[in-house]
Structures are given as structure tokens and as C-alpha cells.
Amino acid sequence: MSRVRADEEEYWHSSKFRAFTFDDEDDELSQLKESKRAVNSLRDIVDDDDDDLERVSWSGEPVGSISWSIKETASGSTSSLDGRDSSLQKGSSSCAALPKQASSYSLSSLFKGEGFLCATQLCLSLSALTDTGVKNYAPELRRPKAEYKDYSSDWSPKDTVRRMQRGKVCSLERFRSLQDKLVLLDEAVAGHDGNVITAVLIFLKRTLRREILFRELEVRQVALCHLIHFLRETGEQKFLLDLLRFLDRTEEVALSQYREHLNIQDVEKRREFLKGCIGLPFSAEDTSHIQDHYTLLERQIIIEANDRHLETAGQSELFRKYPRKASILNMPLVTTLFYSCFYHYTEAEGMFSSPTNLKKTFKIPDKQYVLTALAARAKLRAWGDVDALLTTKNWLGYTKKKAPIGFHRVVEILQRNNAPVQVLQEYVRLVEDVETRLNLATKYKCHDVVIETYRDLKDRIQLTAYKCKVERGSADEEKINSILNNMVRNAY
């Protein structure tokens, strides 16, 4: 019996399987727990984004410590890192397929200064973790390998353009030869993405000589239009002028130089600049516009100086009653004409500020002149000037009302300026279209016009209906009754 017991004891002690003990320091479970704690502590030490790690730890750790060892081995073992990246991309299922054998190396020995871990040994320690441990810690040690392809220098021009269209970060510096750069530009144009085309053009503008870039863009009109628009938006005037001169676009060069007057604030300097622009190689029509611009600014300077003196001295009643709200300098021609019709309407034609002088000098059409003058005089409620403006005399001496803009527009302008009903009715009657006349008369309560129009149309039904819209006992009601009675008598 004692022999049997001895054999059993020998069997259990000689077996490769050992009984569970709480104080077994070499037990696999204790190693696993210790490895977990060690890897967890690495999260705050290892920087997983940098490949070029410094040799001095920012936390003050001496060279040879655990963090320095991990960084040193991670940057020095390329093949081991690639193996680790591939295992991390496969996820927890591939990690579970690895044999979970106990490593003879312990992370705790590193903290005690007993040795260093290489990258392969670190992967073996990670494989010993549970699936949860891999998900929590392994991805934080290094990015997945696929993400580093964003910064790869192996992308073709076509792939680079596609990635830029998706908003990916792509370095264009790898395209060094002229041929590669032109292929990249052609791919960007073929992609029909304006942002990508502009980005590639900025790269070419920075890395190519101007004459080479201009020569290649001359046969690529789409890219050329993008660059010209970009230069105008960013205000790179010198580069733009060089490009336009290379392309022999003389009129565009002149227009680009003319645009510079917008940046000149001083009035006298702007006037001199415009005077110099007259000699630029514009087309005949554009040359006329530049000349008119210069002449108008010259007139505005003279008018502004005189009116500021009158307003300051208080010599003009019109300026006292209607003070100027802004300077006339640099205003458009129509604004200048309105200003002149408002403050200088009665001046002789020989004066620079006279409306008729402006009309003659700048060849303002009759429609534009009447519309502007009517608005200015109606604002001043000068109804006599309005009547004179719209009255013409024929060669026999007879006078008649004439409106180049149409009397319906005259009525609308007068109504906006609160013209009396008597003034409105006079011009509503002159509207030729019957339906338009009735609509305007009804809208602005010109009762006489409505009643007379229905009388001329002999429309008893509409007259009877309109009788309900006028005031009881008023002269308008009596007029309607009289017309209706006359219609009844004439019917018999």
C-alpha cells in the first residue's frame, strides 16, 4: 500500500503537468497578468506616431530604461514591425490562432534592469494577451500599416488625383520631372475637379520656371483659365500680367492694368492714373469708356469742390434744406446725373454741373435722362418741373405730353414720391392701354379716371359696381348717377 502511494506521488511530481499553486511565481497566469500590467503602463510612455524617436526621454528617464528600450528596438527592427502590423490588421481572430505559449522573457525583468525586449519578443508578449487586451492596447502601439500609405511616395499621377478628390493628404513633391508634372496636370484636368486642378497649378507655379509653365499652359486652355482666375482672385497682378503678355493678350493686359485704379484712394492720383490708361492698347469701344471715366472724374472733382464751398458757407437754400448725404466723388454717371438734377437743375448748359451739359457730354439717352430727372424732381415735389420735363412742342407750336419711359412708369414714380391725386390723375389719363389705365386708376383711387373710362366704354354694369366703392353723397357718386341716367335716356 505504501508502495502504491509512493508511485502516485512520483507520478504526479514527475508529470509535465503541475498542480495549481497560489505562490507559483513562474505560473503562466501570473506571467500573463504581469505582462498585461507592463503593456498597459507603456501607453503613457511609447509614442506610436513617430518613427524617428529621440534618444533622450522627455520624462527624464535614463537611456536603457524600459521606454527607451521599446523605442530603440521599434525603430531599429523594420521586418519585425511589418510582421506586427500585418498581425494587427487581421484583428483578434488571427491573434487567437497563434499558440499561446509562455514566453521565457518577462516584462517585469526589464523594469528590474535584467534585459531588453526586441520587437519580436514584444509581439510574443502581446499574443499571450486575451482578445480584449489586443483590442485595447495593440492598435495604440502603432498605426495600422494601411494608414501610412497616405504618405507613401509610390502613388501614380492618376491615383494621386483620385486621392485628392476624396480629400486625402497627398504629397506632390515626388513628381520632380517635367513629364511627371504635366501628366499630373492632365490627370487633374481629366478629373473635372476645380479644387484639384488649382492645387496642382499652385504646385507647378512654385516648382517650374515661368516661361516653361506658360508654354505648357498655352496648349492646355482649361488649366490656363483656372490659373488666370486664381491669379485674379489672389491679386497676383505682376504674375498675371507676365502670363497675359506671354500669351500676347494685349487687351487683357490693358484691362488688368486699368483695374488697378480701384486700389488708388487719393482722387488726384486716380485721375492721373486714368489719364495714363487712355493710351493703353484697348479696343475702340473700351478706349471710349476709359476716356469717359477720366472726364467724369474730372467733372466730379470740380463739382465737389464748388458744392462743398456752398454748403459750408450756407449760401444756398437748397443745401440748407437738403444737406448732402455723401460726396459725389467716384460715383457712377447715373448717380452724378441724379445729383445734378437734384441740386443744379436750373443751371445753364455751359456749367459743368448742369444736367443738360452732362447729357450732351456723355451722350446720355433720352430714356435714361427723363427717368433720372423725373425721379430727382419728384423727390423735391417740384411738379412744375415734372410737367415741363414731359411737355414737348412740335414744329407747328402745339404742345403735347410725351414720356419716353411710358406714362405708366411716370405714374409709379410720382406715386412713390407722394404726388397729389390731381397730379396722378393727369398722367393716368395719358396711359394708352385701357386695362392698364383702369388698374392704375383703381389702385391709386383716381375715381374720375375710372368713371370716365367706364363711360367711354358704355359699361353700365361696371359703373354700377364702382358706385359702391366711392363715398356716399360725394361728387363722384353724383357723377356716376348722372352718367347712368344719361345712358337710360339715350337707350330710349
pTM for this prediction: 0.60
Same domain as 441, residue 452: no
pLDDT, one tens digit per residue, over 120-139 is: 444 444 444 444 444 443 44
pLDDT at 405: 93
Structural domains counted in the chain: 3
Q: What is the mean pLDDT of the chain?
A: 77
Residue 201 sits in the same domain as residue 181: yes
- The rounded distance, in Å, linking the Cα atoms of 421 and 2 is 137
| 141 within some domain | no
- Confirm whether 276 is domain-assigned: no
How confident is the model at residue 112, as a pLDDT?
43
For residue 264, CA distances in Å to 199, 232, 463, 477 come to: 31, 17, 65, 66
CA atoms within a 13 Å half-sphere pointing along the CA-CB vector of 114? 9
Residue 210 in contact with residue 242, Cβ under 8 Å? yes
In tens, the pLDDT along 172-191 reads: 888 889 999 999 999 999 99
Whether 281 maps to a domain, the answer reads no
Q: Which amino acid is at 54?
A: E
Residue labelled with grid coordinates 497578468: 33
Residue 452 lies in a domain: yes
The CA-CA-CA angle for residues 439, 444, 448, to 5°, reads 80
Q: What is the pLDDT of residue 263?
A: 85
Domain that holds residue 202: 157-248
Residue 292 resides in a domain: no
Residues 391 and 425 in one domain: yes
Question: Is the domain of 386 the same as that of 417?
Answer: yes
Over residues 412-421, the pLDDT tens digits come to 999 999 999 9
Per-residue pLDDT band for 6 (boundaries 50, 70, 90) equals low
> How far, in Å, are 192, 223, 394 from residue 195 at the CA level?
9, 11, 64
Residues 162 and 194 in one domain: yes
Question: Are residue 177 and residue 224 in the same domain, yes or no?
Answer: yes
